[in-house]
Structure 1
Amino acid sequence: MKVLVSGASIAGPALAYWLGRYGHEVTVVELAPALRKGGYAVDFRGTANKVVLERMGVLEDLRVLQTGGSAMRFVAEDDRLLMRLPPEFAGGELEVLRSDLSQVLYDHSRDKAEYVFGDSIASLTQHGGGVDVTFESGSEATFDLVLGADGLHSVVRRLAFGPEKDFVRHLGYYVAGWDLPNDFGIERDALMYNVPGRLASVGVDHRDARQAGAMFVFASPELTYDRRDPSQQKAILRSAFAGLGWKVPQLLDGLDDCTELYFDSISRVDVMRWSQGRVALVGDAGYGATLGGMGTGTAIVAAYVLAGELAATGGNHAAAFAAYESQLRKPVQACQAGGNRAGKFLAPKTRFGIAARNRLLGTPFLLNQMLRVGEKVSSDFVIRDYAATQDATAQGSSGSLLRNVSQESGNQPGTPSTAM
């Protein structure tokens, strides 16, 4: 089939890889003029992530690029230690920079798809024979399927499903991140400083100790600003953190020379159905949680499952979309719940809340309990092996030849053995 994928961050290149591998003609369109640089670290947890990354042939590449994770050291204004969380709390089993992950996925998929940068979808019209697409550049084409892998503010979702306000729920916080020189003497642990409703943090770039990364989180009602105007976003940050001590003034000064600023609300996406006719949503576009929702691993697995189901159903998109959603909706929603708590955890709104978090997580027993909860959520993903289906399709055979990852890894059939 001729398939258009919108978005070239994580889910888009992963889709391009699998769809191209199954023989589809794939075009990936991305608004940005090139792959985005900078950005925070992302992590993978559990068997499902590992298996899919292995099957894509990217796991070893990512291991070479892994950061090793960073401990989170919550400090007072004088840098006195208040509480420390170990690297595995935030870094999972494998942590890499988001830009590194995007580059690796692009490198492995670009021979299987055509990438078009600096353009976006302007309109979609579905009919019995496909989807007519007009691009912002003015070009037009018809595709059998259109897949929205274009994030929290998905253009595909807006055009095919409805306005963003119907699906994206603001969770009361904003998050920002940017790179700057490491003039702070940081060697390993990320430093985290709180006042009620605000978090300022800075950590070292593990590949280049001369570079650091700042992350700010702050409580706020939903704001109106231009998402394509970094100057507006920088002004919001300076206003939200004005008057704070610690290293905050120096970190804000780093915005002057920042060329890659990440700024967005902490929000959650909930779509009643992930597909409409010949259009489907993948990753954050359909079920995102800005922070803490295990969205990167979910996107990788979701791309694998959707492409696999299209192969298993012989290109019957209605059946494939239904199977894709049936398999993933429950575990995805469990992962999303972590996003509901992220802002409150990082930037409690009261001094009592900050002290209570530090006190409770400073207790090894409670910290271990939280880690176990994360492991339990990630173990709900059970995915199939679509390689047999691909082989059978190539041989002209009918029927679905599928087996669980749990069988592949030696566990009993039906035992949840995959995670996010």
Structure 2
Amino acid sequence: GGGGGGGGVCRGPRRARRARGGGAPAPPPPPLPLHAFLARLPAALCPIGTLLLVNARDGIADAGAVAAALWLGQAVGGPVIGRLADRRGHRPVLLLACAANAAVLLALVAAVLGGLPPALRTALAVAAGLTVPQVGPLARARWARLAGGDEKLLGRALSFDTTLDEAGFMVGPALAGILAVTVHPAAALLLAAALILVFGTLFAVHPTAPGPALAVPGARAAVRLWSPGLVMLCALAVLQGAAWSGANTGVNALAKTLDEPGAAGLVWAAMAVTSSIARFVTVARPGSADLTVRLRWTIAVQAVLTLPLLAVSGLAGAAFAVAGIGLAVAPHLIALFGLVERTGPAERMGEAMTVAGSGLILGQAVAAAVAGPLAAAYGYRAAFAVACTAAAASAALALAATGRRPSARTPSRPVPSPDPRRS
């Protein structure tokens, strides 16, 4: 489990755990899921919001380039924020990231609407990605810590957290599309800035926010982050992100071709609906297969379900195709992040989760940079081909790794817990 030798959660949950007399972890205070959901909703609003805003003004090629810059910044900044959160505690790092991210998003909107040079817009998009507070990965790190070594409870917690992600990626694209049509293409990014400033701050100061995981100078260096298993999981995450991004860019290009750009978010939300259903089924009937087997099966199924994108010719067909892909998404993510929790060191769990999350983002950035120009030059099916290629590569990598499992983390040197007052 994720309750290794680092600093504890705040004194409230720890005291409650002792009062119940044993290893059962204390549940988080009720607002945590609400704060975590609303604080991570900008992660779903910003990519589609950026695509809609730039696509409406400058076309899909420029939109793909700016979105790719945002994703690339997030892929680079994610592990840095995760590492700092482990070393300094969640609160100070998240508070600074939330304020900076909101300010940069506002500057990005102003730059696009003001027609400022592409280089400046790209730089602001990178800065917006670099400052993303990484609420999702750090929330999963908190759940791993609160589970206190109970694998069943941890599985349920990660499944619940995946549900929050799926709900966000259902609400986010749909909301961005509705706002683009009824208010303004920039409305989604403005809402994202407000949400991250308010609810990101509430998530940062929530009582479950852990303090520094490693308080002894030099102790962190003795805890190794990378292992062959974690490298493989991150590679699979990169390909997963590329598959999503190629499909997303293709949907936006198709909507633009049909002169209905605001409908792209609504079409993309179909994936989140079916993924949420699959998540509930996975939790209700997890089966006897271990996480490694489940990850391979879901990757293979997703590769097959991605192929119908190549035959899409209208928005209804696109919605049906992405809804089919969604059936494999939640089981895939549950297995992926469950294996990350088993593979990464407990003292660096925030960093391990953000590294995997950054793999997803990096894949989206690369695919957006490739799929956008291809869609502009050859049509939306070229972007869908990028998605199918990435999904097939992911399945091939998973099959090539048959018989090899991500190894469980090795015990690390015990590190004294920091003073709980520093939490």
TM-score under structure 1 length normalisation = 0.29
For the pair shown, which has the larger CA radius of gyration, 1 or 2? 1
TM-score scaled by structure 2? 0.29
Name the structure where helix makes up a greater proportion of residues.
Answer: 2
Relative to its length, the structure with more strand (as a share) is 1
